[in-house]
Structure 1
Amino acid sequence: MSQEHPNQFALLKQRRFAPFFWTQFLGAANDNVFKFAFTLMITYQLQLDWLPSKMAGLVIGALFILPYVLFSATSGQLADKHDKARLMQLVKSLEIAIMVIAAWGFYAANVPALLGCVFLMGLHSTLFGPVKYAYMPQQLNERELTGGNGMVEMGTFVAILLGQLLGGILVDTPVVGPQHVAWACLALAIAGRATAQGIPASPSTDPNLVINWNPFTETWRNLKLAHEGLAVFRSLLGISWMWFFGAVFLSNFPAFAKEVLHGSPQVASLLLAVFSIGIGIGSLMCEMLSKRHVEIGLVPLGAIGMSVFAIDLYFAATGLPASEPYSISAFLSVTAHWRVLADLTLLALFAGLYSVPMYALIQLRAQPSHRARIIAANNILNAVFMIASSVIAGAMLGAGLTIPQIFLAVGIANAVVAFYIFLIVPEYLLRFAAFVLTRIIYRFKVINDERIPTAGPAVLVCNHVSFVDAVLLMAASPRPIRFLMDHQIFKIPVLGWMFKLAKAIPIAPQKADPATYEAAFAAARAVLEDGEMVCIFPEGGLTRDGELQPFKGGVMKLIEGLPEVPVIPMALGNLWGSFFSRVEGGKAMVKPMRRGVWSPVSLTVDAPMKSAAVSPDALWAAVSRLLATTR
């Protein structure tokens, strides 16, 4: 049976995750206590001719983001070259020093000093980001990576929410508010340094790296490095688009609350709260929905939800009658406002489903030697996209569009961008199809899935029961599989298109088409030599009676000259008689849902066999034995 893994919350009891989690949580909270309190202090308590209150939020936000653009490339190099635990401890020591300066700034009401600290806290976050995301794949295995990322995303947004609430409450204290903020920020920095001391060592992945201190040339080099893996690079673009999308909503919450919803400042805080809660719930749901694998099939689901609820928010917020500013209780007493809150919550929830698998995919697929530099490239792109969102949203407002109209435009643009991304990276769509098939049409159980390797070449050998066997195997695997498939299957509508997207390798009988037969095995061996996985169905076609057919010798040809490649027998059980299998006179796909929805199907994975022990008869016996356990 599969090894049972504790859920993501159990990570909080383990030294390899808990100190790291609380370190990043306290850092995110401190960022937001400091920034939000400082913004409110300028807006409500200080009168500055050179910094008007309406510009305070924009200036502080720009200063905080600027180090991401300037220094992300350098921080990625540092994280690849040095022990990540030690680097995090040094960064948290830097935070204490920054907060000492900030404390003096709050006591003296010295705005230039505090603006300098905003820039330095942005630098602190820039240094911490690549280390944070490169640390997790060193400490967590593939089955824990989605849950760990979900916990971090949830923790970050909860910390943002609590930090802003605490900063707002403290700075509003008459006379001594700024001093209270100063002590709170210093205490959070010291607590973060204390938790960082417990982070276990995470050795350098590239100790011989020579640091390039020129941020401009290194930024370009990082982007080129990220572009070498197209699936990873396009995932970086997908995450950056999510930050563009989210920044439009977050930056417009105060004006949306005041001008559209006619609410008090507390209503703006409520919008932030429901948005943060939605992100947190969506992030935590990823592990459950993905069955503790890196499941990028959730990304299209997230993108669909983001567009649906952004567009519905436009309709929910249009035509609301003007009134005196609502308090929170009065706001909640209006039924129409509940639809607005539901849209924001669900929009954020689906954004969590969209982003967490992408972060996990980048961590899993990026080369360990330069993983932190890939994360640094991600941070650079995120910053550029967030700046672009502010400029574009500002231009749309200047052109006379209302805030709900901007939300509508972004919702439609999200659908277009997502469709484009999924066309150029079809793995997302294929995994989404597999996700739907294994969660709705079938109740899919994988036994001994830890035997499917997360790295290195392997040949998967499986019985062939239905037209969706390949899709089910995709759902069970933590990484892509290239399938050797009968060339005739590519003529089937929809399924043929899907298998072309999956880059399945067409094969024909040797006697009927010797050229296609030889080309298929040459292509499959090239895939194995590149360190990827190949799956072959050695029966040569779908079973017509539900029984395991004799295995042909193609697998022997496939592993010829590759003695180190393991061969892994697998068996699909309980699939015979379903809609996609051949029954009733040899026909498949008649009488839709003839076994209803959520019918049980299983995949059992056997231990890898060494090439020397492989023969068609030995593989047939192994698969037959696995099938016997499912009956």
Structure 2
Amino acid sequence: MIQNVTHLLKTRRFVPLFVTQFLGAFNDNLFRTAMVLLVIYGIYRSAAQEAAFSALAGGLFILPFFLLSALSGQLADAYDKARIARAVKTAEILIMIFGAAGLYYQNIPSLLVALTAMGIHSTFFGPIKYAILPQHLERDEVLGGTGLVEAGTYIAILGGTILGGLLVVQDADGTYHAEYAALCVLLVALAGRVAGQFIPAAPPSTEDSGTVNDPDLPKAELDWHVVRASINLVKATMHVPRLFVAIMAISFFWAIGAVLAAQFPPLVKNVFGGDQSVATLFLAIFSIGVAVGSVIINRLLKGEVSARFAPMSALLMGACVIALYVLSLGWTPYPELVGMKVFLEEPAGWPVVLALFGVATFGGMFVVPLYAFLTTTVPKSETARTVAANNIVNAGAMVGATVLLFVMVQAGVSVEQTLLLVAAGTLVSAWLGKKLHRACLEAGCP
């Protein structure tokens, strides 16, 4: 349980990684929130353009996960993960110099290039984050450690989202600026590099590779052909039934999450009639909900790595999405954009917030145990590549979902109606969660 692993927050084998991940997630969301709000509220004036931009931005951030995860997993399994983490955090500083320029000069191409580069940054850090945990923690600490990382990540997302919204400032003449956001992303990137310096060494594991991934692939021999490497890695991992189901369940979760995240700003502005403070509130509530879900599921499972609550969590998430859809249909926006106070004074204001909180909480309860499952049911020598294979499939699902969303928006489907796509996705997630729990029981898993 969370209360049994809080001692990790006092140990060097956990804290530097936790802080590095926290600052990385914080900066990702500070930059992305500032960028999206600046473009949607300060540059574009068309609902279709705004929805399309949100979908495009989401797709560009995800695309590197699809293309480069195989290489990132190979690197993390073949070399010291702490050294790679430090190299990645150094690259973040360079990326944020470019991103800060885009925010300062309000240059959309520069912003999108920096966003794509941050996707590459996250692609290479992701396998390290999950692969170090089972290497530095005891087996009975991994679920709790994963929960702490996930909860911390979403608290960081919350903080970055709020600050990103606050640092996009509107002048008296209606002009939007993001100079302070530009400065802040640089400072946070520097702090992340300092934290990464203290991550303990995490050399390649000497544990036998077992049968999960290709036993003929030498650990130190990298396949730089990203397409071939991706195909081989996914094939070598997905043939294991329990991993196949777990990865597909996580992928459906992130696919529907990508649709939700892309639609939040247009939903707030064009359906609920809220200004950027309401958009920030939506993103913040979502982050808080996932963090709360991470804590709740750890308490329910009592440190056990199990998928038994996954089907229920997915179905409850879908019910909350339907509630959000119904509330959006009955909402009558004001003639002008309103702030958070006016929005919450509406009779349906708090029900909307609670529905969104429920979506995020049950989503967190669904996905956290599945990540712990991935990192504890494979040999430590192959953890990073297993996570990388998961990232490839996740990214493919997310890119597919954002492309579908883009096509639907261009075809005239309303923002509210896209919520029905999300609700349908939760049904598939529930079915996959049930299959995973059954597969675990048959294989003797918890």
Cα distance 1:293–1:183, how it changes in 2: closer, same or farther (>3 A)? same
CA offsets per residue over residues 520-541 of structure 1, 9 Å max, x none? xxxxxxxxxxxxxxxxxxxxxx
Task: Verify: 1:91 aligned to 2:88, yes or no.
Answer: yes
One-letter identity of the residue aligned with 2:141: E
Task: Verify: 1:364 aligned to 2:376, yes or no.
Answer: yes
The CA distance in 2 between the partners of 1:128 and 1:209, in whole Å, is: 19
Give the Å deviation of 1:365. 0.7
Task: Verify: 1:168 aligned to 2:165, yes or no.
Answer: yes
Q: Return the index of the structure with the highest Cα Rg.
A: 1
The CA distance in 1 between the partners of 2:63 and 2:376, in whole Å, is: 28
Aligned residues: 428
The CA distance in 2 between the partners of 1:264 and 1:234, in whole Å, is: 40
One-letter identity of the residue aligned with 1:293: E
Residues 142, 293 of structure 1: 8 Å contact kept: no
TM-score (norm 2): 0.87
Give the Å deviation of 1:395. 3.9
- SS of corresponding position for 1:241: helix
In structure 2, the partner of 1:150 is 147
Residues 104, 177 of structure 2: 8 Å contact kept: no
Task: Verify: 1:140 aligned to 2:149, yes or no.
Answer: no
Structure 1, 38-47 or 60-69: larger mean CA deviation: 38-47
Residues 298, 357 of structure 1: 8 Å contact kept: no
Task: Verify: 1:387 aligned to 2:384, yes or no.
Answer: no
In structure 2, the partner of 1:22 is 19
Give the Å deviation of 1:388. 1.7
Aligned runs of 1:63-462 on 2, under 5 Å?
63-106=60-103, 111-172=108-169, 177-205=177-205, 208-324=219-335, 325-398=337-410, 401-420=413-432, 422-423=434-435, 426-427=438-439
Q: Which structure has more RCO (C-alpha within 8 Å, separation ≥ 6)? A: 2
One-letter identity of the residue aligned with 2:341: S
In structure 2, the partner of 1:438 is none
Give the Å deviation of 1:386. 1.2
- SS of corresponding position for 1:293: coil
Cα distance 1:347–1:60, how it changes in 2: closer, same or farther (>3 A)? closer
The CA distance in 2 between the partners of 1:270 and 1:115, in whole Å, is: 24
One-letter identity of the residue aligned with 2:270: E
Structure 1, 409-418 or 190-199: larger mean CA deviation: 409-418
Give the Å deviation of 1:154. 1.7
Give the Å deviation of 1:61. 2.8
The CA distance in 2 between the partners of 1:243 and 1:19, in whole Å, is: 27
The share of aligned pairs that are identical, in percent, is 39
In structure 2, the partner of 1:480 is 445
Cα distance 1:54–1:406, how it changes in 2: closer, same or farther (>3 A)? closer
In structure 1, the partner of 2:210 is none
CA offsets per residue over residues 474-530 of structure 1, 9 Å max, x none? 9xxxx528xxxxxxxxxxxxxxxxxxxxxxxxxxxxxxxxxxxxxxxxxxxxxxxxx
Give the Å deviation of 1:113. 4.2
CA offsets per residue over residues 305-354 of structure 1, 9 Å max, x none? 11222223333333234434443222212232322221211121111110
The CA distance in 1 between the partners of 2:398 and 2:162, in whole Å, is: 23
The CA distance in 2 between the partners of 1:276 and 1:244, in whole Å, is: 17
Give the Å deviation of 1:295. 2.6
> Going by fraction, where is strand more abundant, 1 or 2?
1
CA offsets per residue over residues 247-299 of structure 1, 9 Å max, x none? 22222122322333333332222221211111110011222111112132121
Cα distance 1:329–1:109, how it changes in 2: closer, same or farther (>3 A)? closer
The CA distance in 1 between the partners of 2:223 and 2:281, in whole Å, is: 45
CA offsets per residue over residues 515-570 of structure 1, 9 Å max, x none? xxxxxxxxxxxxxxxxxxxxxxxxxxxxxxxxxxxxxxxxxxxxxxxxxxxxxxxx
The CA distance in 1 between the partners of 2:416 and 2:100, in whole Å, is: 39
Gaps spanning 5+ residues in structure 1: where? 432-473, 482-631
The CA distance in 2 between the partners of 1:402 and 1:115, in whole Å, is: 25
The CA distance in 2 between the partners of 1:341 and 1:47, in whole Å, is: 26
Give the Å deviation of 1:58. 3.7
CA RMSD of aligned residues (A): 2.9
Give the Å deviation of 1:107. 5.1
In structure 1, the partner of 2:215 is none
In structure 2, the partner of 1:519 is none
The CA distance in 2 between the partners of 1:417 and 1:104, in whole Å, is: 40
The CA distance in 1 between the partners of 2:349 and 2:36, in whole Å, is: 28
Cα distance 1:318–1:227, how it changes in 2: closer, same or farther (>3 A)? same
Residue 11 (structure 1) aligned to one of 8, 12, 26: 8
One-letter identity of the residue aligned with 1:119: T
The CA distance in 2 between the partners of 1:330 and 1:176, in whole Å, is: 21
TM-score (norm 1): 0.63
> Going by fraction, where is helix more abundant, 1 or 2?
2
Cα distance 1:13–1:165, how it changes in 2: closer, same or farther (>3 A)? same
One-letter identity of the residue aligned with 2:388: A
The CA distance in 1 between the partners of 2:425 and 2:243, in whole Å, is: 22
The CA distance in 1 between the partners of 2:114 and 2:122, in whole Å, is: 12
Give the Å deviation of 1:164. 2.6
